Amino acid sequence: MEPVGVSTEMALLSNILAAYAFITENPERAALYFVSGVCIGLVLTLLALVLRVSCRTDCKRSSSKKPPRERESDSDSSDSDDDSDTTSDLSARRHRRFERTLNMNVFTSAEELERAQRLEERERIIREIWMNGQPDIPGTRSLNRYY
């Protein structure tokens, strides 16, 4: 009787040798499989990140801030009205979130704000100097200086 560990080790070794033989016989196919696997993994990772970032804030806000809705006993309310309410609520939430990001103070200190203002002023001056220093050439402008 052989121990179970030896047979699994032999199967693993046999699979490794078979994979090596396949790669040496078909290098292009092996490279194609490898690159395809990496690309599919990257696409799935990107999809998971996008879903996490986009749904995280909406799902948390909708579950925590939305009070339980009382159903009216009137038969005149329809499902289409509820759907339009949820879409307008969603767009309003997105608009408020966008406004909050615009109103956030990016600079944490007065020194950073002053430094950013000086940098903007310096860039404006450099742009003015560059624009005023360009010669006015009548006729067509060409990148080729030698005709």
The pLDDT value given to residue 46: 95
42 domain residue, yes or no: yes
* Total domain count, the chain: 1
CA separation for the pair 74, 72 (Å, rounded): 5
Q: For all residues of the chain together, what is the average pLDDT?
A: 76
The two structure tokens encoding residue 96: 């408020």
* Helix/strand/coil for 111: helix
71 domain residue, yes or no: no
Alpha carbon distance, N-terminus to C-terminus of the chain:
92
Q: CA-based diameter of the chain, in Å?
A: 98
49 domain residue, yes or no: yes
Tell me if the pTM is above 0.75: no
Contact 84, 93 (CB under 8 A): no
Closest C-alpha among 116, 120, 64, 62 to residue 92: 62
* Helix/strand/coil for 44: helix
The pLDDT value given to residue 73: 47
Q: Whole domain around residue 49: which residue ranges?
A: 27-62
* Helix/strand/coil for 92: helix
67 domain residue, yes or no: no
Could you read off the pLDDT tens digit of each residue along the chain, which spans 147 residues? Answer: 455 567 888 999 999 999 999 999 999 999 999 999 999 999 999 999 988 888 876 766 666 555 555 444 444 444 444 555 566 677 777 777 766 666 665 667 788 888 889 999 999 998 888 888 776 665 555 566 665
74 domain residue, yes or no: no
